[in-house]
Amino acid sequence: MDLKKIIGLIATLVVTIFLWAVPTDFYGMEGLTVLQQRVIALFVFAALMWILEIIPSWTTSVLIIVLSLLFLSDKGLGFLMVDADGAKLEGIMKYQKLMSAFADPVVMLFLGGFALAIMAQKYGLDVTLARMLLKPFGTNPKMVLLGFLVVIAIFSMFMSNTATAAMMLAFLAPILATFPEGDKGKIGLALSIPVAANIGGIGTTIGTPPNGTAVSNLETYFGMNISFGEWAIHMMPFVFIMIVIAWVVLQVMFPFSTKKLEVNIPENDKPHTWRTTLVWITFGITILLWATESITKISSNIVALIPLAVFVCTGTFTKDDIKQIDWSVLWLVAGGFALGYAMLDISKGGTGLGSTLVNSIPFGDMSIILVFVVAGLVCYLLSNFISNSATAALLIPILCAVSTGLSANPAFASFGGTKAMICFVATCASLAMLMPISTPPNAIAFSTGLIKTKDMLKVGAVVGVIGLVFAFLWLTKIFPFANDAVAAPATTKTEVVAAPAVVADSIVVDSTAIDSIAK
């Protein structure tokens, strides 16, 4: 560990210990308990560790779960679970609740998604689909650019955006080599990889971890369910509109001088066997079940495990394939879920910090637009420097408490309510693409040597700002999710007052509004 990280670690520990050890009165929050204070300290610890990248992000998540088990649960350090008089502290969590973060339904959703993506690559479905999808775009450079944007976006909805970026760069590299010196169009083509990969993940609940974090917290905190199909119906149109906007931006900034481009993607050289057919059929059935959840009533989280079971039982998915699953992503989001559990009311198995926070801050009197803007900008800026998964895991549980407080303001419903706020923040995390370090696809594109940091910064800033504004309008006014009722701030730690009736009403969207997306 270098000196910079050592200093960062020491500073993090000092701040965390201070927040842990000071009297609860220091926070100025009425009713704050000792265990809630520990949760605050753990939040700050996680934030600093993720921001400073002292250790890998997923390692921090695992550490957070272990520390929570030790200092917040009924099977942790028993002598720390009583006060000076020997009475049990209020809000002790069940250890099973915290450990279940590793098997949260959304974690299982991602596990199934990873299995599908691994099989698609193993049996050549990705190459076959890429050939089919790019063929209609012809040889006009502008249309080829649009083709790459669309195909990468579609792939990123179901595959790791990192894997998608790496695969598409392999197809794009020979094309980039044919460009004459001075043709700015090749910069735009190279930038299409990270732009489309980052935007494309917004389209489905398995497209990127922030989506899963949003869905999980909405269900855990409020009992609100957003199915795979419902998310896709709302978010895919948003993705494709943003892809068209990005297409225009890239052409304006990096115009083509070349008049013709030949895209030659090699045919799938993997032998076609019965397992190849099985993967195609399983892939299609899984997507169909995800899209028809409202009809079949089978949870998308359960559907995600069906292909895994099919592939394992038929020997299609082997022990070597298991090693390709991105366990670091699964464990990273699990740590965020554990923090979210700790925010829950005592009656739901948490420490009650969320209710205490709501009761301490007059969220109901705040400007709704201002809260959206601040939350979105904080998430966007943080995600440019640390993992967007870590940013979402840190901010979304806090914003769930904030949205509970805002439900006392009737105007909150007119801006889409809780679902709009949480999904907007998740979308902001995916729109962060200012620098090579912002996302893995950015780094992959930068590795071509064709892109300068200033080029990425310009495109990332323009697409990002447009995306933030459009996401806000899309989720709050154009095509908001159905606005479920949200409990108003608790009057005590265990009593909850029903939200005003106006919050429970679904928002009526103008019939002329565009039907679309959000992530």
Residue 508 has pLDDT above 80, yes or no: no
d(CA 215, CA 299): 13
Does the predicted TM-score (pTM) go above 0.95?
Answer: no
Alpha carbon of residue 128 to chain centroid: 28
> In 3D, which of 512, 513, 502 has the Cα closest to residue 480?
513
Residue 437 has pLDDT above 80, yes or no: no
d(CA 445, CA 293): 36
Split at pLDDT 50, 70, 90, the class of 444 is confident
Residue 487 has pLDDT above 50, yes or no: no
Residue 443 has pLDDT above 90, yes or no: no
DSSP element (H, E) containing 395:
helix 388-406
Residue 108 has pLDDT above 70, yes or no: yes
Q: Which two tokens stand for residue 405?
A: 């407080």
Structural contact between residues 199 and 467, judged by C-beta atoms closer than 8 angstroms: yes
Rounded to 5°, the CA angle 198-200-202 comes to 85
Q: Decide: helix, strand or coil at residue 346.
A: helix
Per mean pLDDT, which of 335-339, 359-363, 507-511 is the most reliable? 335-339
Average pLDDT on 418-426 reads 96
Q: Decide: helix, strand or coil at residue 225.
A: coil
Split at pLDDT 50, 70, 90, the class of 495 is very low
Which residues are registered as beta bridge partners of 93? 73
pLDDT in tens, 53-72: 889 889 999 999 999 999 99
Q: Sign of dihedral through CA atoms 336, 342, 343, 344?
A: positive
pLDDT in tens, 369-417: 999 999 999 999 989 877 888 889 889 998 998 898 888 888 899 999 9
Structural contact between residues 497 and 490, judged by C-beta atoms closer than 8 angstroms: yes
Split at pLDDT 50, 70, 90, the class of 235 is very high
Residue 509 has pLDDT above 70, yes or no: no
d(CA 268, CA 335): 39
d(CA 425, CA 471): 9
d(CA 89, CA 504): 35
Check residue 516 and give its pLDDT: 34
Check residue 127 and give its pLDDT: 84
**Could you tell me how many residues make up the chain?**
519
pLDDT in tens, 170-190: 888 878 877 888 899 999 999
Split at pLDDT 50, 70, 90, the class of 128 is confident
Split at pLDDT 50, 70, 90, the class of 237 is very high
Sequence-distant (6+) residues with CB within 8 A of 316 are 119, 275, 278, 279, 310
Query: How many percent of the chain have pLDDT more than 70?
Result: 93
Mean pLDDT of all residues in the chain? 87
Alpha carbon of residue 70 to chain centroid: 28
Residue 264 has pLDDT above 80, yes or no: no
Average pLDDT on 263-276 reads 84
Split at pLDDT 50, 70, 90, the class of 363 is low
> In 3D, which of 432, 443, 337, 424 has the Cα closest to residue 381?
432
Average pLDDT on 481-502 reads 46
Average pLDDT on 192-200 reads 95
Check residue 357 and give its pLDDT: 83
Residue 501 has pLDDT above 80, yes or no: no
Q: CB neighbours (10 Å) of residue 397?
A: 30
